[in-house]
């Protein structure tokens, strides 16, 4: 998966800080020769400091692109920029433990998936059941398959199973990509489509919404069949944590 806006980049306005790992805006300044050297030009061409607005710590960049210092990055890809904060925290925790315990990382990623699914599909039921309900609501099969990979591998990491999570060096790192893929499906793409929809002329948008409003049907016919409302375009939509109902913790 391609890197996203959280990856530290030269002269980037904001990214995940290499120190505190918080996604934060960055201030940039040139690297100067000491004044008493009295050399010209005064600045190292292509060398800069970035300063994190969250932890106020400097990082050194060189050759217009390289993060020279600090030389430490967490394993695993950076999170999708649309990942909600409470799920991002679990994702970053998984990155921190990946090197010492792939099983723990897999369990945490499964927990992050469960939290995401609980916001998409509140109420009682196992993760397996909820993925099934999301499919019925229109979740794409590839997104459901990605969820199932994470669910099954995560379950095997926590409970004895047939998968050797620790024995496959590439399995758990791939799960980070899988969770990012899920977030892309259920959050990024709907957001992008909605943003483009908002660029349509108001009249066109209203006509589309009128077209999709539930129609009054002749007596005796179900009003549900064939009726699509504008809200149905967001039928698999992220809901805030405050809206989340209690749900069973299950597989
Ligand atoms: Zn920082």
Q: Which two tokens stand for residue 85?
A: 């904060």
Q: Structure pTM? A: 0.61
Distance 23 CA to ligand 1 centre (A): 8
Q: Which CATH architecture has domain 85-212+231-243?
A: Up-down Bundle (1.20)
Distance 18 CA to ligand 1 centre (A): 7
End-to-end CA distance of the chain: 27
Residues with CB under 5 A from ligand 1 (ion): 17, 19-20, 52, 54-55
CB 134 within 8 A of CB 236: yes
CB 110 within 8 A of CB 153: yes
Distance 4 CA to ligand 1 centre (A): 18
pLDDT at 244: 39
Distance 80 CA to ligand 1 centre (A): 18
Which residue intervals of the chain bear CATH 1.20.120? Answer: 85-212+231-243
Q: Which two tokens stand for residue 213?
A: 């409003």
Q: Distance between CA 182 and CA 188 in Å, rounded?
A: 9
Residues linked to residue 48 through DSSP beta bridges, in sequence order: 30, 61
Q: Distance between CA 187 and CA 112 in Å, rounded?
A: 14
Distance 59 CA to ligand 1 centre (A): 9
Nearest by Cα to 234 from 189, 184, 179:
189
- What string of pLDDT tens digits covers the 251 residues of the chain? 333 456 778 888 998 787 777 788 999 998 887 777 776 666 777 889 999 998 888 988 887 777 777 766 667 788 898 999 989 989 988 988 887 788 889 999 999 999 999 999 999 999 999 999 999 999 999 999 999 999 998 888 877 766 677 777 778 889 999 999 999 999 999 999 999 999 999 999 999 999 988 776 666 555 444 444 444 444 566 654 444 333 333 44
Distance 97 CA to ligand 1 centre (A): 19
Task: Count how many Cα atoms sit within 13 Å of the Cα of residue 192 in the half-sphere of its side chain.
Answer: 9
Q: Distance between CA 166 and CA 144 in Å, rounded?
A: 24
Cis (ω within 30 of 0) for the bond into 150?
A: no
Distance 219 CA to ligand 1 centre (A): 63
Distance 83 CA to ligand 1 centre (A): 19
Look-up of token digits 């019925």 = 136
Distance 26 CA to ligand 1 centre (A): 9
Q: Distance between CA 120 and CA 36 in Å, rounded?
A: 61
Distance 14 CA to ligand 1 centre (A): 11
Q: Which ranges in the chain belong to alpha helices (H)?
A: 85-97, 102-120, 127-136, 141-158, 171-183, 189-198, 202-212
Packing angle, helices 102-120 and 171-183, rounded to 10: 20
CB 123 within 8 A of CB 145: no
Element (H, E) at 161: none
Distance 62 CA to ligand 1 centre (A): 19
Distance 74 CA to ligand 1 centre (A): 14
Q: Which ranges in 23-101 belong to alpha helices (H)?
A: 85-97
């Amino acid at each position: 998966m391609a890197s996203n806006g959280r990856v530290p980049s030269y002269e980037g306005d904001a990214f995940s800080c290499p120190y505190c790992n918080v996604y934060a805006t960055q201030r940039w300044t040139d690297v100067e020769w000491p004044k008493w050297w009295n050399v010209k030009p005064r600045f190292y061409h292509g060398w800069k400091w970035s300063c994190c607005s969250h932890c106020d710590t400097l990082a050194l960049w060189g050759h217009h692109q390289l993060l020279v210092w600090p030389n430490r990055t967490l394993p695993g890809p950076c999170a999708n920029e649309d990942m909600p904060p409470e799920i991002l925290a679990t994702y970053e925790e998984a990155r921190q433990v990946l090197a010492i315990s792939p099983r723990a990382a897999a369990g945490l990623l499964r927990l992050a998936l469960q939290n995401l699914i609980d916001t998409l599909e509140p109420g009682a039921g196992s993760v397996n059941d909820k993925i099934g309900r999301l499919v019925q609501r229109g979740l794409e099969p590839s997104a459901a398959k990605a969820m199932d990979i994470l669910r099954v591998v995560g379950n095997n990491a926590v409970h004895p199973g047939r998968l050797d999570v620790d024995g496959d060096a590439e399995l758990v790192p791939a799960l980070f990509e899988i969770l990012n893929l899920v977030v892309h499906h259920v959050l990024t793409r709907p957001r992008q489509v909605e943003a483009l929809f908002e660029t349509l002329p108001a009249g066109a948008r209203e006509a589309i919404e009128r077209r999709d409003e539930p129609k009054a049907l002749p007596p005796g016919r179900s009003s549900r069949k064939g009726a699509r409302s504008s809200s149905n375009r967001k039928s698999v939509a992220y809901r805030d944590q405050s809206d989340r109902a209690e749900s069973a913790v299950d597989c």
